[in-house]
Amino acid sequence: MTSETPMELSQTLTLKNLAPGHSAVIVGYAECERPYRARLLAMGLTTETVITVVTRAPFGDPIEVRVRGYNLSLRAGEAAALILREIS
Amino acid sequence: MKTMARIPVIALVGNPNSGKTTIFNGLTGSRQRIGNWPGVTVEKKEGTHLSPGWASGGDSMTVVDLPGVYAVSASAEDERVARDFILSREADLIVNVLDATNLERNLYLTLALAEIGVPMVVVLTMIDRAHAEGIKIDLEALTRAIGARVVAVNGLVRDGVAEVSRAIASALHDPRPATVAVEYARAIEDRIATWTPGLAGAASGVGINATWLATSLLEGDPWITGYVVETGTFDADEIDRVRTELAAEIDRDIDVALADARYATIGKIAESVKRPARGPSISERIDRVVLGRFVGLPIFLAAMFSVFWTTITVGETFIELFEDLAGAVFIDGVSAALAALSAPAILSTILVDGVGTGLQAVAAFIPVIGLMFVMLALLEDSGYMARAAFIVDRVMRLFGLPGKSFVPMMIGFGCTVPAMLGTRTLESKRDRFTTIFMSPLMSCGARLPVYALLAAALFPGRAGLVVFALYLTGIALAAATGFLVSRTLFPGTPSRFILELPPYHVPRPGAVLGAAWRRLAAFLGRAGVVIAIAVAVLGFLDAIETGDGEQRATVLSSFGRSITPVFAPFGITEENWPASVGIVTGVFAKEDVVGTLTAAYAYDDAGGTAGDTDTRVLERLRENFSPAAAFAFLLFILTYTPCIAAVVTSMREMGVVLGSVLAGYLAVLAWAVATVFYQVAEGGDLAQILAAVGVLALVAVVFRVFGRRLAAGGFSRSVSTSSAACLSCRVPGGCAVIPRKPPTP
C-alpha cells in the first residue's frame, strides 16, 4: 500500500492515486523526458482526453488504462508526467 | 515519375497490431524475403506482389512491410527503421493500414503521412471485428475527410486482398498525398509560415515537405533539429529562441499544443465513425481476473511453465527422429552414394564426417525451435504475451530492464538462438543487447544431457538437486550479468514503459502456424547455412587423425590436451584431458560434451575392463572427477561460450565485435566462477581465488571503458541520459539524442 498524504491528493492527481474503475481527464504534462511525452501524445494522451484505470499488475505496478477506446499500460512513477483531474 | 521498366515499390505503414502483417502475407504469399536486416536493426520485410488484372506498368511490385509505429518521430529502434524508409521516398506509394476498431489513434500516423506529403492509400482492416463491436463507419465520409482513397477489408479474406491490390494498382497510376490538413493555432501557423520558405533548400535535400520540416522543428524533433542545423539553414540558438518565444506566447508546451490540434482534426474525421458507448470490454473483464493481485502471478507462472514444458518434453521426443532422418539422408545416404561412385576417402571425410554431421546437428534443433515458435505465436496471437511483460515489469526493473525482456529469456531455457532473435521486440538497443548478454545463461535444453551424465556418476541420489542448483545458478549469473552490462557496457536509462495491451482473442491456427513456420524457415535458411559450415569445419578437424596408433588423436583432441592447464584451476587434472576436449567440442553443440566424454574415455580405456560401456564411463568419471571438480566442471559448461549457433546469432544481432565480446565474456566468467567454486570447496588455493576475482574486476573495468566508447559512437541514440526536464527539451539536442545522417534523397 502506498501512503498518500491528503495534501498530495488535493494538489495534483496522478495515475498512481486513481483507483481501478475510476476515470480522469488529462489536464496537462508535468516535467518528463521528451521522447516519453512525444510517444504518449502520439498515442492520443492529449489535453482533455479521458483516461480510465482498468487494473493494476499483481505487484501493484504497472497500471492498465483505457484511453480513446484501447488499452495501454504505464508505470505509475513515469505516468506522473500526466496531470489529471478526476471526473465522477 | 516511375518508368515502365522499374518495378514499383509500395510500403505498408501502420500502428503495431493494425493487421499490417496479415495484409503483407496476403499480398505477397510465399514470395517473401524475410529478415532483410541492414546491419543491426529491427526487421524490415520485403516481398513481391503479383497483381492478377494489372494491365500497365508491369505486373509485379515490391512490397515492404515496415515495423509498426505510432508516429513518424523516432525514439526507438523499430521506429527509426520505419521513419528512415518513409522519409527516404524509396516507396512509390505508402499503404497506410488502419485498425478499424481503433481508428482515432491510428489516424495520428495518417495525419503525419499527409503532412510529409507522401502519396498514399488507406486500408481499414479488422472491419469484421469493428462490426461485431457495433462500430459503424461511413466510408464515403471518411474518404472525403482524409482526402485519399480508402478501402475497408477483412484482411483474412481473399476478396479483401484483391480489393487492396486493385486500390494499390489504381493509386500507382496517379499517386498523390492525402489532402487532410491540420489546423494549428494562429501563432503556430504563423511561425510555420515564417520558417517554411527558408527551409525549402533543406527540405529538397531530403525530398520532403518544407512545411512538415518547419512543424517538426517547432515540435522539437531532435533529429530534424540536428539535420536543419547541419544544413546551416538556422543555427541552434535561433531555433531555440523562436521556440521559447512561441511557447511563451501560447502559454503551453508546443509539442502538446501540436498534438492537441492533430487530435482535434482526428475528432472531425472520426465524425464519420459511430462508436457505441460501452462499459468494460470482455478483454478488460478478463484482465481484472487474469492480472489480479492473487491469481495473476500463479496464472502467469503456469502459462510460462507450459511453454517451457511443452517445448522441452514434446520437442525432445522428436529430436532423435529428426537426427535419425537427417542422419539417414546426409550421412548414410551420402556415404552410400560416395561408395557407389567409389569416391576417394578424403571426399567422404569432408562430406560425411564434416558437412553431413553438421547438417544433422542443425536438423536436431528443428523440433525444439519449431515448437518454441508455435508456443510463442500462441502467446502472441492470444494477446497474453503483452500481459506477461506487464506482470513481470516490476521485477525486471530491478535488473535495469523492461518487462518485455522477460519473454526472450524464458525462451532461452529451450534454446538460446530463438531467445536472441526474440529480443527484436524490445524498444531500445540497450535493452536488447543487455537481454542478449543474459540469454545464454538461461540453461538451454542441450546442456541438460551433460548435467544428467555427471550428476548420475558423482551425485547419485541427488542428481535432481544438482541440476536444479545449476539452473538457479544460471539465473543468478544472468541477473548479475544484466546488472553488470547495464551499468558498464550499455549504460543509460532503461526505456520508459508504454505497452499496448491488445484485446484477447482465440488464437487462429493458420496465423499461429504461419508465423511459427516463417520464423523457423528464416532460422533454417539463414542460420542453418552458417551453422552447417561452422560445424562442418570443426567436425572435419575432429575427423583428421594425427595419432601414432597408440592412442586415438585428432587435430581437435591434441588441441584439447594442450589447453588442459588452462582448466587446472577448477580441478581438471592432466590425466583428465577428455574433459578439456569436451569443453572444446561443446563449443559447436553442448550435447556434444557427452559424446566426447564417453568416446574419449572408451578409447582411453583400451585395456578393456569388464562391464558395459555405460558403467565403464561412469566409473571413469568417478576416477577422473572429485565431486567438487565435477560441479565446477558443470558450472563451467553452464556458463562458458554458448554453442556456435548462438554465437553466430549474437553476431548477426549485435555485430561481430559485440558478439565476440559476449563469447569472450562468458568464457572468462565461466572460468572465474568454476575456479572460485572449486578452490573454495576443495582446492583451498587463495591465490587462485584472488586471480579469479581479479579477472572479473578487470572485465568490469574493460566493459566500462568499452561502454564509454560505444556511447561516444552514438550507441544509446534512443535513450536520454540527462534527467532533463521538458523545459530544457526546448534546447535542441537537450535530450542528448545524437542526430543521424539524413536519408539519401
Contacts of A10 (CB under 8 A, 6+ apart): none
Any chain A CB within 8 A of the CB of B253?
yes
DSSP string for B29-69 = TT-EEEEE--SSS--EEEEEEE-TT--SS-SEEEEEEPPP-
The predicted structure's pLDDT at residue B353: 66
Q: Compute the radius of gyration of chain A from its Cα atoms.
A: 12
- pLDDT surpassing 80 at residue B526: no
Nearest to A26 by CA among B16, B259, B280, B279: B259
- Alpha carbons B261 and B267: distance in angstroms, whole number: 10
Give residue B147's region: left, alpha or beta (phi > 0; psi -120 to 50): left
Q: Which chain A residues are within 8 Å of B720, Cβ to Cβ?
A: 33-35
Scan residues 578-617 of B and list those with Cβ closer than 8 Å to A: none
- pLDDT surpassing 50 at residue B364: yes
A54: distance to nearest CA of chain B, Å? 7
Q: Exposed, middle or buried by CB within 10 Å (0-12, 13-18, 19+), for B9?
A: middle
Any chain A CB within 8 A of the CB of B255?
yes
Q: Which chain B residues are within 8 Å of A70, Cβ to Cβ?
A: 102, 105, 500
A32: distance to nearest CA of chain B, Å? 5
- pLDDT surpassing 70 at residue B716: no
Q: Which chain B residues are within 8 Å of A47, Cβ to Cβ?
A: 256, 260
Q: Which chain B residues are within 8 Å of A64, Cβ to Cβ?
A: 284, 287, 291, 390, 501
Percent helix, percent strand, percent coil in chain A, to nearest 5 = 25, 35, 40
C-alpha cell at B500: 499496448
- pLDDT surpassing 60 at residue B735: no
pLDDT in tens, B325-361: 888 888 888 888 888 888 887 777 667 766 676 667 6
Any chain A CB within 8 A of the CB of B288?
yes
Any chain A CB within 8 A of the CB of B75?
yes
Q: Beta strand B60-65 with B44-50: parallel, antiparallel or unpaired?
A: antiparallel
Any chain A CB within 8 A of the CB of B267?
no
Report the residue from B108, B220, B729 with minimal CB separation from A42. B108
Can you tell me which residue has the cell 565480446?
B661
Report the residue from A42, A57, A74 with minimal CB separation from B394. A57
> Do residues A27 and A14 touch, judged by C-beta distance below 8 A?
no
* CATH class of the domain comprising B186-278+726-730: mainly alpha
What average pLDDT does chain B have? 81
- Alpha carbons B432 and B427: distance in angstroms, whole number: 7
Any chain A CB within 8 A of the CB of B237?
no
> Do residues A43 and B105 touch, judged by C-beta distance below 8 A?
yes
Which residue from B minimizes the CA distance to A69? B102
CATH of A6-87, one of 1.10.3980.10, 3.80.30.20, 2.30.30.90, 3.40.50.12640: 2.30.30.90
CATH number given to B9-173: 3.40.50.300
Scan residues 466-485 of B and list those with Cβ closer than 8 Å to A: none
- Alpha carbons B374 and B438: distance in angstroms, whole number: 23
Q: In chain B, where are the structural domains located?
A: 9-173, 186-278+726-730, 384-502+545-713
B149 DSSP assignment: -
> Do residues B417 and B708 touch, judged by C-beta distance below 8 A?
no
pLDDT in tens, B438-468: 999 998 877 877 887 888 889 988 887 898 8
B101: distance to nearest CA of chain A, Å? 8
Report the residue from B105, B252, B726 with minimal CB separation from A37. B726
Contacts of B185 (CB under 8 A, 6+ apart): B250, B257, B261
The model's confidence at residue B742, banded by pLDDT at 50, 70 and 90, is: very low
Q: Do A33 and B727 touch (CB under 8 A)?
A: no
Q: Which chain A residues are within 8 Å of B282, Cβ to Cβ?
A: none
The 3-class SS string of B330-352 reads HHHHHHHHHHHCCCCHHHHHHHH
Any chain A CB within 8 A of the CB of B106?
no
Nearest to B192 by CA among B173, B165, B219: B219
- In a mutagenesis test of the B interface, which of A31, A50, A55 is the best target, namely the one with the most B β-carbons within 10 Å? A55
Can you tell me which residue has the cell 527558408?
B198
Scan residues 160-219 of B and list those with Cβ closer than 8 Å to A: 219
Chain A interface residues (partner B, CB cutoff 8 A) = 20, 28-29, 31-44, 46-49, 54-62, 64, 66, 68-75, 78
- Alpha carbons B265 and B725: distance in angstroms, whole number: 29
Q: Determine how many CB atoms are found less than 10 A away from the CB of residue B231.
A: 15
Q: Do A33 and B259 touch (CB under 8 A)?
A: no
What are the φ/ψ torsions at residue B312 (nearest 5 degrees)? -70, -55
- Alpha carbons B104 and B116: distance in angstroms, whole number: 19
Which residue from A minimizes the CA distance to B276? A69
Q: Do A58 and B292 touch (CB under 8 A)?
A: yes
DSSP lists the bridge partners of residue B274 as: B136
Can you tell me which residue has the cell 572427477?
B625
CA B5 to mean position of chain CA atoms: 36
Report the residue from B104, B253, B296 with minimal CB separation from A58. B296
> Do residues B406 and B469 touch, judged by C-beta distance below 8 A?
no
Query: How many residues does this entry show for chain B?
Result: 745
pLDDT in tens, B135-152: 999 999 999 999 999 999
The model's confidence at residue B32, banded by pLDDT at 50, 70 and 90, is: low
pLDDT cut 70: percent of chain B above it:
82
Please state the rounded mean pLDDT for residues B564-578: 88
> Do residues B92 and B9 touch, judged by C-beta distance below 8 A?
yes
Q: Determine how many CB atoms are found less than 10 A away from the CB of residue B119.
A: 19
The predicted structure's pLDDT at residue A7: 44
C-alpha distances (whole Å) from A55 to each of A61, A67, B393, B696 are 10, 13, 15, 43
- Alpha carbons B318 and B230: distance in angstroms, whole number: 58
- pLDDT surpassing 80 at residue B599: no
Which residue from B minimizes the CA distance to A43? B105
Q: Do A44 and B108 touch (CB under 8 A)?
A: yes
Q: Which chain A residues are within 8 Å of B734, Cβ to Cβ?
A: 34
B462 DSSP assignment: -
Q: Which chain A residues are within 8 Å of B255, Cβ to Cβ?
A: 34, 37-38, 41
C-alpha cell at B710: 560505444
- Alpha carbons B676 and B653: distance in angstroms, whole number: 32
Any chain A CB within 8 A of the CB of B393?
yes
B9 DSSP assignment: E
The predicted structure's pLDDT at residue B567: 93
- In total, the C-beta contacts within 8 angstroms joining chain A to chain B are 153
Q: Determine how many CB atoms are found less than 10 A away from the CB of residue B523.
A: 24
CA B485 to mean position of chain CA atoms: 18
The predicted structure's pLDDT at residue B82: 83
Please state the rounded mean pLDDT for residues B513-520: 79
A18: distance to nearest CA of chain B, Å? 16
- In a mutagenesis test of the A interface, which of B73, B77, B101, B105 is the best target, namely the one with the most A β-carbons within 10 Å? B105
- Alpha carbons B150 and B205: distance in angstroms, whole number: 31
Q: Do B70 and A43 touch (CB under 8 A)?
A: yes
C-alpha distances (whole Å) from B689 to each of B73, B320, B404, B479, B680 are 51, 42, 37, 22, 8
Q: Do A46 and B726 touch (CB under 8 A)?
A: no
Among A7-16, A22-31, A48-57, which is the least confidently predicted range?
A7-16
Opening angle at CA B369, ends B366 and B375, nearest 5:
130
- Alpha carbons B633 and B625: distance in angstroms, whole number: 9
What are the φ/ψ torsions at residue B499 (nearest 5 degrees)? -130, 125
Among B308-317, B661-670, B676-685, which is the least confidently predicted range?
B308-317
B403: distance to nearest CA of chain A, Å? 10
Q: Is B393 helix (H, G, I), strand (E, B) or coil?
A: helix
Q: In chain A, where are the structural domains located?
A: 6-87
